Amino acid sequence: MSLASTLRYAFGMRSLHAQPAAVRTLLLLLLLGLVVGACTHAQPNVVAEYLDGAERQSETVENRKEIRRALRDMLILSPQELQQRRYADYEGTPQAWTAVELLERSFVPARQAALDPASFYRDLAAPRARGAIRKQLQDVERALSSGGP
């Protein structure tokens, strides 16, 4: 069925010229739908993109504990509070890394992904990001309780 036939059927028109205002209204509504759809297209979530399927790199129990602390903070602190927190580096130097730096140095993403700090703190509270954080937190807690890597 052609667009013209569909319009004639939907509006009970004998021809498209019979009701030009109805045709214009329908076309405007279709255009509006396309514009709104394009504007609301989901933006990628940098936190989820980075952590989904990422491989954790930690060599010591202390590293894993610091990763656990940072992941917990990501779930409970506001972005502003998290920006102020600092975490020990892999050598144990206290207050050395931001949350973003800790993730970049402790996880290898499954797909090439970058952690832009502004995008990271913006995306942190999204459900998809929180799910990825929880998954990594469960994995590190499991490793800590079993004594594994």
Q: What would the two tokens of residue 17 be? A: 């010229």
**Does residue 27 register a pLDDT over 60?**
no
**Does residue 46 register a pLDDT over 50?**
yes
Secondary structure of residue 87 in the 3-state scheme = strand
CB within 8 A of 10, min separation 6: which ones? 26
What is the reported pLDDT for 39?
A: 46
Mean pLDDT value across residues 96-103? 98
**Does residue 64 register a pLDDT over 70?**
yes
Please give the helix or strand (H or E) that residue 56 lies within, else none.
Answer: strand 55-56
What is the reported pLDDT for 57?
A: 95
Mean pLDDT for all residues in the chain: 84
Q: Are residues 50 and 126 in contact, defined by beta-carbon separation less than 8 angstroms?
A: no
Measured CA to CA, the distance from residue 56 to residue 107 in angstroms comes to: 4
Measured CA to CA, the distance from residue 28 to residue 46 in angstroms comes to: 35
Mean pLDDT value across residues 119-146? 97
Mean pLDDT value across residues 39-48? 76
pLDDT level of residue 13 (50, 70, 90 thresholds): low
